[in-house]
Amino acid sequence: MLGASKIESSEYSDLTGVLRWFILLRWIAAVGVSAAIVVGRFVVGYDFPYALLVGVTALLIAGNGAYSFYFSVRKRSVLSRSEMSRFFHVQTICDYLFLFVLIYFTGFVGNPFVYFFVFHIMLTSFIFPKRTVATYVVALVAVFVAAAYGISSGILRYYPLFQEVSTETPAADHLGIRTFALATTLTIVAYLVANIKDRIEERGHRVELELDRYRSLDKAKSNFILQVTHELRGPLAALKGYHEMILKGLTGSIPDRTSEMLARADRRTRNLLNIIDEMIDFAYMKSEDDIDYTPVDLSMLDVLSYNADLCTTAAREKDIRIYVSAPKELVARANRDLLNIILGNLITNAVKYSPASTRIIVSAQEEEGEVHLMVKDQGIGIDAEDLERVFEEFYRARRAREIERDGTGLGLSIVQRAVNLLGGRIGVYSEVDRGTTFHIYLPKSRTQEME
């Protein structure tokens, strides 16, 4: 029955940690027992069978050494569920046996350390299901009752802990009361721990169900946003195109006042398109389970140039120069869509929040086995109190809100999420009125790593 029982734990790694903890505690127990034997023999002078106690301690040390070798060296801390179950059972039975022998030869139930069995029962209740715990408790209580009967009837010898107490067999009622108290304590502890564990697991299961429900709702929300924003983007893009054609005079000459109003409408339409694009990217990133982010080898110079060109028109309106710098041979292992999202957001923000006649540097270089991307501007900068929150969803810094009221506050959170999906990391450095620099580190191409 014991060999076939399951081990209960929510995570496999938890059980591995418990095994390490068991082995460590057993080493501590071996040291403590050895010290107690030395003190009892040479300091207090108790009349115990020390040769037997030393032998049991040696078996404890040898057994724990075998456990350590099997777990850490032979299996390298990786056991299957069935192996782990058997390993736990072997250790538990040996621990019960060693502790019982040590307790029996040092005062039996009169030894206060007999209640160390409470800790063993608690650990057993944590690891095994109720039926297995009940089997251990019944077996342990039966052994104690049998030993108490053997001592009271004179079949077994009694080894008192305190030498001033007579070494004669203690009264049967006295021995029975202590044995009954111990058995009751072990049973109650096993029952309470098992039931507390069941309640914790039940609540954990409810939390998992709520999390699954939340994930489903979040996914539905992302899909809804993605669908609606795609439907909105088409008409708005067409409207912006009509504005541009009228402003360029393709439909005939228009009064200056009308041209000015159309230019304002075009700017507002462009802002709406930027907001919709951010919402699309946000929903796109939230729907990552349904999207293939397979990385490929990408030329950094090509990717940087492509994204810089997309922002050239907006930069030219403010007389901002965008400089691109990257070695031709530099290749990153990344996903093109995610990289375009990262660079598109950062360069667009740099143009938006930089004053006229400044410059933006977009560069990439190899650094300590990684690809280091940098987007540096001479813009308004970010206040120190805002710097820690710039990657939060829907958060906009105060200075950014002063320049442009429209915005979702999703851009940088999208950038950080994309960087994480690429297995990279991102950092930001900024000084107020002196500019902001974003540093991104991505994995290099495997081909380059092998060269």
Structure tokens at 283: 């929903």
pLDDT of residue 450: 42
Helical spans, DSSP H, in 69-109: 81-104
Distance, CA of 428 to CA of 382 (rounded, Å): 10
| 320 found inside a domain | yes
Report H helices in 298-391.
300-310, 312-317, 336-352, 384-387
Q: Is 359 helix (H, G, I), strand (E, B) or coil?
A: strand
Q: Specify whether 254 is located in the same domain as 386.
A: no
Cβ atoms 111, 33 nearer than 8 A: no
Exposure of 413 by Cβ count < 10 A (0-12 exposed, 13-18 middle, 19+ buried)?
buried
Q: What is the CATH number of the domain that holds 238?
A: 1.10.287
Q: Give the number of domains in the chain.
A: 3
Q: Residue 307 sits in a domain of what CATH number? A: 3.30.565.10
**What stretches of 248-299 show up as alpha helix (H) in DSSP?**
256-286
Radius of gyration of the chain (CA): 36
Report how far residue 45's alpha carbon sits from residue 160's, in angstroms, rounded to the nearest whole number. Answer: 13
User: Per residue in 360-399, pLDDT tens?
Assistant: 999 999 988 899 999 999 999 988 888 888 888 878 777 7
Say if residue 47 is in the same domain as residue 88. Answer: yes
For residue 400, give the amino acid letter. A
Domain-ending residue, one of 250, 270, 286: 286
Contact (Cβ atoms closer than 8 angstroms) between residue 408 and residue 394: yes
Separation between Cα atoms, residue 238 and residue 255, nearest integer Å: 23
Q: What does residue 370 show for φ and ψ, rounded to 5 degrees?
A: -125, 165
Please check whether residue 90 lies inside any domain of the structure.
Answer: yes
What amino acid is encoded at 416 in this protein? Q
- Using the structure block, give the residue that is written with the tokens 């206040």: 383
Is 27 buried (19+), middle (13-18) or exposed (0-12) by CB count in 10 A? Answer: middle
Same domain, 423 and 442: yes
Helix (H, G, I), strand (E, B) or coil at 408: coil
What's the CA angle centered on 366, arms 362 and 369, to 5 degrees?
Answer: 140
Predicted confidence at residue 13, as pLDDT, reads 55
Whether residue 441 sits in one domain with residue 297: yes
Assess whether 141 and 44 both reside in one domain.
yes
Residues 34 and 70 in one domain: yes
**Confidence (pLDDT) at 451:** 47
* Same-domain status, 281 and 300: no
The reply to whether the predicted model has a pTM over 0.75 is no
Residue 25 CA to its chain's centroid (Å)? 26
Question: 403 and 304, same structural domain?
Answer: yes
In a domain, 186, yes or no: no
Dump pLDDT digits (tens) for 226-239: 777 777 878 888 88
**Residue indicated by tokens 């009752």:** 145
Residue 182 lies in a domain: no
pLDDT of residue 77: 76
Tens digits of per-residue pLDDT, 126-171? 888 888 999 999 999 999 999 999 988 889 888 877 654 444 556 5
Determine contact, residues 370/441, Cβ cutoff 8 Å.
yes
Average pLDDT by stretches of 10, the chain with 451 residues: 45 69 87 87 79 89 90 81 84 91 88 88 87 92 92 86 55 78 91 88 86 81 75 82 84 85 85 80 67 82 93 90 93 90 91 92 91 93 86 80 72 88 91 92 67 47
Token pair in block for residue 40: 């009892």
Q: Write down which residue in 170, 187, 202 finishes a domain.
A: 170
What do you get for the CA distance between the two ends of the chain, in Å? Answer: 58
Residue 215 CB coordination number (10 Å): 11
The answer to whether the CB of 99 falls within 8 A of the CB of 116 is yes
Q: State residue 162's pLDDT score.
A: 62
Range of the domain at 261: 217-286
Q: In the chain, helix, strand, coil percent, each to 5?
A: 65, 10, 25
Q: Measuring CA to CA, how many Å separate 108 from each of 119, 145, 157?
A: 17, 11, 10
